[in-house]
Structures are given as C-alpha cells and as structure tokens.
C-alpha cells in the first residue's frame, strides 16, 4: 500500500505541473514516483524536490555553485533538483536514474571548476542530487578519527574537530566551503600536506553507493575500489556518502605570516630563490605564493605584479624565524610579520575571514568568493628561470584580474609513492601552479576574452612545467584537456587517455585482465615487491614468467616487470643452486631417457655392459657417442625431434578461425582471446620445459633409490 505522504504529494505534483507541457513534466514526475517506490518513509522527503517552476529552484541551484560561468542563461539547467535527507534516498536516486535512463549529477560543495556537478552539455534530461542535507559529523577522540557525511563542508569538519580537541586537526583544503565528499575524491591538498600528506592519505574508510544502488564500506567494496575513490575523481566510481578521517596531532600554537613583494621590491629574485628552497625546507612550513596584478604605489594608473608569501608553520614564531633565516633569508621575515594563534584560528586566517571572526561561522558552510572564472593547473619539477618569469609578468599585465597560486610540495608529499592513491603528483614536484582568469559580468564576449588569455598563458608555460605527460590536478578540472563528446558511452580508452594520463599518470592505465585496477609500482619498490612475492621459492614452478603471473594476481604492475622477474630468478643464488632438485640435497643426478632395461637387471647404467653368455665380452659405455650419434651428426645431443624446433600445435593452444566459428564467438572475443594466448605463449613453453624437468628429476630420484652400487674391476 502506498504511503499517504507519497499519495498526497503525488496529487500536489499533478496539480502543480498540470499547466506544463507533457514532455517537461515527464522526468520530474516519474522520478518522484520512482523515489516513492524505492525509499522508506522514516524520513519525509516531500520537500526535497524542486522543479524550474518552484520559486526556490534557482536559489538552490546557485546556493553552492562556485563558478558563475556555469550558471549563465545559455547553460542547460536540470529538470529537477533532489536534496536527499538520508542515505536510502541516495540509493533510490541511483536506482531510479538507472531505471528511467536519466543523467544523475551529484553535487557536494559545488566547487567543480567546470560545473560538471550541476550542469550537463550532453543534451538529454538530467537531475541533480544535491547532498547538502547530508552533513553529519561524528568525532571520536579515543580513536582520533571522524566520520563526515559527503554534504558537510571542510570548514564544518574543522570546527567540529576543534570543538572536541585543540590538538587534533585534519590535513585538507584551505577554502572552507569545499564539500568534503568531492574534495577528497580528487586528492584534497591543504596547508598541512607537507607534514601529513593529502586528505586522501588520511582516509580510513568510506561509504559509497555503487551503480546498483548498493551501499558499500571499505570491507564490502574491496581494496581496489577503496583505492580508486581516494583521488580517482568525483563521481567516477559511485556516490560518496561519507568518509572516515584519520585525525592528526597539531601543536597548540601555530604561526602565520603574509608578506607582499612587488617587482619594485625585488620580487623576481625572491621568487626564484623560493623555488630552490620551498620543497626542501622544514616539513612543518607551508609557504604558498599568491601572484596578482596591483596598482603601483608611486605611479598612479600603472600596474605591477605583486607576489604575496602566505604561510602556516606548525610551531612557534621563534622556531620559524630560525628556519627562515637559515633557508630563506631573502624574504626578510621578522617577528613583527608573524602571528601566533591556534590551529582553528589559522584556518580562519588563511580562508580570508576578517580578524576576530568567531570560528562558529564555519558551520554556515558559505563561500566567501563566487566569481566567473576559468582555471588551469600545472606541476613544476625544476625552477623556472628568471627569463621565464619575465615572460610570465608580461602576460600577467595583459589581463584585468589574473591570479596565480603556487603551492609548495616536498616533505611528506615526496615520501608517499605515486601509486598509493590515484593522485600521482608526488616525488620530484617542487610546486603546483593554479592559473585563474576572473571576471565579474555574465557577458559572453568578456568570457571569451578571458578564456583566450588563460589559454595563451598556459601555452607559454609549456617549456617550464612537467612533460610526458604534462600533468594536471583533477580537482582543477579543465575540459580543454579533453572530454567525452556528447556523452558518447563508447568513448575509447585510448581517447580517454588524452586527459587521463595528465590527471593520473601511470595510475590511469593499470588494469588486470578482468579490467580491474592494478597498483602501479615505482622502480624503487619493484625489487622489494619481487622479493616479497618470490619469498625464496625455487624450482621450475617459480620461473620468471610464473613470478609475473603471481604478482599480477596480487594486484601490482609496472612496465618492465617481466624482464625484471626473469632477471631476478636468474640471479637468485638459491634458485641456481637447487634449480634441478626437489627436496633433495644439491648432488648431481644422472638422468637417462631410456633406463628401463637396466632397472630390471640392477646394473649400473654408466659402466660397460657385460654379457653373461660371452667370454668377458662387454659393450662400451660410450656406444651412443661413438656409433649412434654419427648417424645424426647435425642433431644436438638428446634432441627428440631430430633437428626441428619443437612447436605447439596451433589448433590446441591458439584456436583457429574454424574453432572460433564453431564456438560461435564474436570477433572482439576472438581477438581478445587470441591476444591473451599469444601474450602468454612464452610462459606456456617455459611451463612445458619445467614440467619435463620436474618429471625427469622425479624419475631419477625413484631410480636412484632402487639402484644398488656395484664396483667392477677389469678382467
């Protein structure tokens, strides 16, 4: 029986939409009815649906959207906004979107740089699932952890932690209106990342709704999926419901400073020095640079470039001054430039809140900065020379409101492997650049002007940033790098690699034969992994090819793994010592292919054979060498095919087209099957050789047990 709540609201929906066209009403009405069928009613959700006819539709659409460029009149709008209040509501939304073939866009904090959490360029109807009502936070001081629902903002998480403890924190973003659901799926960097790593490096568990509408935690989803959601991009693998965060210990007193330097103050040389020290300086110091265009103080109407050094140090001002004087005296930091405060106060300071603003304002989850903008990102692995900086200043001065943010790396970021999470930008990165072009009017021509400028700047920086690939940060999503054309679900893996390799590097293309993700192993970790998987196991069953298979089954991959494994087994001393033995001492064994005549007689196969009927006549022991082998001079000793290379019958190991047709396989299945068989053909040959060696060794051992030693003397 249908719920009264559902019946009454359905009647209200019919009345509300009766004046609308049938086509425009179909999607919201069907979606609501489907939600009714697939949800419980312990939590009423009649006020969770908003259509374009509702007065609150536009305010809700704009409520958390950060990039106003994505809300211009020409941008497609959703047919419905659904604000689930419980986790089962999210499950129902996934099930219904699948049943009705409707696009489902998921929004947490609305900080997607291209607005993909609340817009769609595909053209088909779409619905927004806005998770802003799911913002519960539970802090566990004993476990030093916290559960945060996906709709909560980073600022709310920070405040709830500080409520319970003054010495615990979490390393995530600087902008407090970031929704934690999407923020962590891209990595979640912040001002403590050099000390504690990214937000994804400090996630203990998660709850997610998969494409079937099932809620999974870390145990039920498996380590592969848990690995993928921590940095693999928002909404790529399901809808995040919440994260379990590992809290970190922060000092009771931290220090901040903010020092501006213009070109007239020697900003270029200071910034060049900053590049040389910022990734090597104390791990507790995060010193980013904000670069923008300002008015000159001396000359009215003229512009100059200003670099502002904004820092957080996890410690006292005295220790900070000591570090800066040793590593970066060029900045000229003094005690008057620094301010000591608590960790939560530093959050307010770096987020741009006015002085003395109470931290409780973070619970509002509101953004202080909403603009029309276009952004891009880069990673720098060697200092940009002063000539490059000069060109950068020149292009900065061409734009009205340019903004560059240089965020330092090093510290813990260099200690964590690229493959620990999908976020690959780790060791070797000095700093990350965020380019931003800002404007304040919803004018299409104005937007084109600013977007063209940032694209030219991005092209100019090509020779100064990472290459092969040119890396990009997935949370600074940039559709200029590539996108699915018109929502084409048949978009190939090779085409997706156009941007996938830039966001994820080698983490993008690691897959098992069943298309599951593999963890990419760096060169430094490969030898350790081989040693652990091999575990000293020798014998023909653990050759290089078998070792490769075992590592793949364990879920790891690197480009040279086959050659590395073969070389490891060849050089492994114990394997070479005991290669032809199975649980026997390393003594030389003598194996013959035809020992059956002698076992019955109990005779030594090595000594000359004497005939009892003759008068001391004996056959020579080297009869094969001197007589039989002369009949086949070109044939290697003990070759069974007499000069021809042994081959595996194609009809058995590699099915032909005739076999494929009989099996009624598709071309794609046949090609995939043939590729897999060819890829492992060498391994099968090695297995055959190993099997033969194993058989001979076992036979030799059996015969040696029965052989009775004899000593013969001539005469």
Where in the sequence numbering do the catalytic residues fall? 476
CA 162/CA 359 separation, integer angstroms? 9
Q: Is the peptide bond before 469 cis (omega within 30 degrees of 0)?
A: yes
3 state DSSP class of 49: strand
Which structure tokens are listed for 293?
Answer: 């265009």
Which structure tokens are listed for 95?
Answer: 């099930």
3 state DSSP class of 153: strand
Which structure tokens are listed for 451?
Answer: 């977007």
Reference 482, options 464, 450, 444, 508; nearest CA is 508
538 secondary structure, DSSP code: -
Q: How far is CA 190 from CA 175, 183, 193, 241, 413, in A?
A: 9, 11, 6, 22, 11
CA 655/CA 671 separation, integer angstroms? 11
Are 430 and 272 contacting, i.e. CB atoms less than 8 angstroms apart? no
Are 78 and 122 contacting, i.e. CB atoms less than 8 angstroms apart? no
Are 409 and 427 contacting, i.e. CB atoms less than 8 angstroms apart? no
Reference 227, options 198, 193, 200; nearest CA is 200
Are 172 and 193 contacting, i.e. CB atoms less than 8 angstroms apart? no
Burial 154-190 (b: 16+ CB within 10 A, else e): bbbbbbbbbeeeeebbbbbbbbbbbbbbbbbbbbbbb
**Pairing state between β 126-130 and 103-107:** parallel
Are 150 and 181 contacting, i.e. CB atoms less than 8 angstroms apart? yes
Are 476 and 458 contacting, i.e. CB atoms less than 8 angstroms apart? no
In a 10 Å sphere around its CB, with 0-12 CB exposed, 13-18 middle and 19+ buried, how is residue 365 labelled? buried
HSE value, Cβ hemisphere, 13 Å, CA-based, for 86: 13
3 state DSSP class of 313: strand
């059996």: which residue's tokens? 702
Are 206 and 229 contacting, i.e. CB atoms less than 8 angstroms apart? yes
Query: Strand order of the sheet with strand 338-341?
Result: 338-341, 254-262, 303-313, 285-295, 402-408, 431-439, 372-380
| DSSP string for 112-149 | -TT-TTT--SS-S-EEEEEGGG---EEEETTTTEEEEE
- The length of the chain, given as a count of residues: 715
CA 171/CA 250 separation, integer angstroms? 10
HSE value, Cβ hemisphere, 13 Å, CA-based, for 211: 7
CA 476/CA 419 separation, integer angstroms? 20
- 528 Cα distance to chain centroid: 22
| DSSP string for 326-343 | HH-GGG---GGGEEEE-H
Are 372 and 447 contacting, i.e. CB atoms less than 8 angstroms apart? yes
Q: How far is CA 513 from CA 225, 510, 549, 669, in A?
A: 16, 10, 11, 13
| DSSP string for 358-423 | -GGGGGG---S--BEEEEEEEEESSPPPHHHHHHHHHHHTTSSSEEEEEEE--THHHHS-TTSSS-
**Strand residue runs (E) in 546-685:** 556-557, 609-610, 618-619
């Amino acid at each position: 029986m249908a719920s009264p709540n559902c019946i009454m609201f359905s009647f209200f929906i019919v009345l509300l939409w009766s004046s609308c066209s049938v086509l425009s009403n179909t999607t919201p009405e069907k979606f609501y009815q489907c939600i009714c069928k697939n949800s419980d009613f312990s939590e009423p959700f009649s006020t969770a649906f908003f259509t374009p006819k509702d007065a609150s539709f536009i305010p809700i659409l704009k409520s958390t959207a950060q990039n106003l460029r994505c809300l211009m009149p020409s941008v497609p709008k959703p047919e419905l906004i659904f604000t689930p209040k419980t986790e089962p509501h999210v499950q129902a939304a996934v099930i219904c979107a699948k049943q009705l073939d409707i696009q489902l866009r998921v929004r947490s904090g609305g900080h997607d740089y291209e607005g993909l959490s609340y817009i769609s360029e595909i053209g088909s109807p779409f619905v927004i699932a806005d998770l802003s009502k799911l913002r519960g936070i539970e802090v566990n001081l004993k476990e030093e952890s916290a559960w945060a629902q996906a709709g909560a903002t980073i600022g709310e998480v920070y405040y709830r932690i500080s409520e319970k403890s003054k010495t615990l924190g979490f390393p995530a973003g600087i902008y407090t209106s970031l929704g934690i659901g999407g923020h962590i799926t891209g990595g979640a960097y912040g001002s403590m990342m050099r000390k504690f790593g990214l937000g994804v490096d400090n996630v203990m568990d998660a709850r997610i709704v998969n494409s079937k509408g099932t809620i999974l935690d870390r145990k039920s989803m498996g380590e592969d999926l848990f690995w993928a959601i921590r940095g693999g991009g928002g909404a790529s693998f399901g809808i995040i419901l919440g994260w379990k965060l590992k809290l970190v210990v922060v000092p009771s007193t931290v220090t901040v400073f903010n020092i501006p330097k213009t070109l007239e103050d020697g900003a270029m040389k200071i910034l060049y020095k900053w590049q040389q020290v910022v990734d090597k300086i104390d791990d507790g110091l995060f010193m980013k640079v904000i670069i923008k265009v300002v008015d000159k103080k001396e000359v009215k109407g003229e512009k100059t470039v200003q670099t502002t050094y904004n820092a957080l140090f996890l410690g006292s001002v005295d220790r900070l001054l000591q570090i800066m004087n040793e590593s970066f005296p060029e900045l000229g930091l003094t005690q008057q430039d620094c301010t000591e405060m608590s960790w939560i106060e530093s959050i307010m300071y770096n987020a741009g809140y006015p002085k003395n603003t109470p931290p409780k304002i973070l619970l509002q989850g509101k953004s202080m900065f909403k603009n029309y903008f276009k952004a891009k990102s880069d990673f720098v692995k060697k200092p940009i020379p002063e000539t490059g900086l000069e060109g950068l200043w020149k292009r900065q001065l061409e734009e009205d409101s340019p903004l560059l943010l240089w965020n330092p790396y090093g510290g813990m970021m260099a200690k964590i492997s690229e493959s620990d999470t999908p976020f690959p930008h780790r060791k070797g990165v000095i700093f990350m650049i965020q380019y931003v072009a800002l404007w304040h009017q919803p004018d299409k021509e104005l937007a084109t002007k600013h977007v063209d400028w940032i694209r030219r700047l991005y092209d100019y920086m090509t020779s100064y940033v990472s290459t092969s690939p040119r890396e990009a940060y997935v949370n600074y999503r940039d559709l200029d790098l590539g996108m699915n054309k018109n929502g084409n679900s048949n978009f190939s893996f090779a085409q997706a690699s156009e941007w996938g390799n830039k966001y994820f590097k080698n983490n993008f293309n690691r897959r098992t034969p069943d298309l599951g993700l593999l963890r990419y192993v760096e060169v430094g970790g490969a030898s350790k992994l081989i040693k652990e998987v091999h575990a000293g196991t020798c014998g023909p069953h653990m050759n290089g090819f078998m070792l490769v298979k075992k590592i793949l089954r364990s879920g790891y991959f690197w480009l040279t793994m086959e050659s590395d494994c073969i070389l490891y087994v060849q050089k492994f001393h114990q394997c070479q010592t005991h290669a032809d033995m199975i649980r026997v001492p390393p003594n030389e064994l003598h194996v013959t292919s035809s020992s059956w005549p002698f076992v019955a007689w109990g005779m030594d196969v090595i000594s000359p054979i004497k005939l009892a009927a003759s008068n001391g006549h004996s056959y020579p022991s080297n009869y094969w060498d001197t007589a039989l082998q002369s009949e086949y001079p070109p044939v290697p000793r003990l070759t069974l095919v007499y000069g021809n290379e042994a081959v595996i019958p194609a009809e058995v190991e590699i099915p032909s087209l005739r076999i494929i047709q009989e099996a009624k396989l598709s071309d794609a299945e046949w090609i995939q099957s043939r590729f897999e068989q060819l890829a492992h053909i060498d391994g099968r040959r090695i297995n055959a050789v190993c099997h033969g060696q194993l058989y001979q060794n076992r036979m030799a051992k059996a015969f040696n047990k029965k052989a009775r030693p004899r000593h013969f003397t001539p005469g």
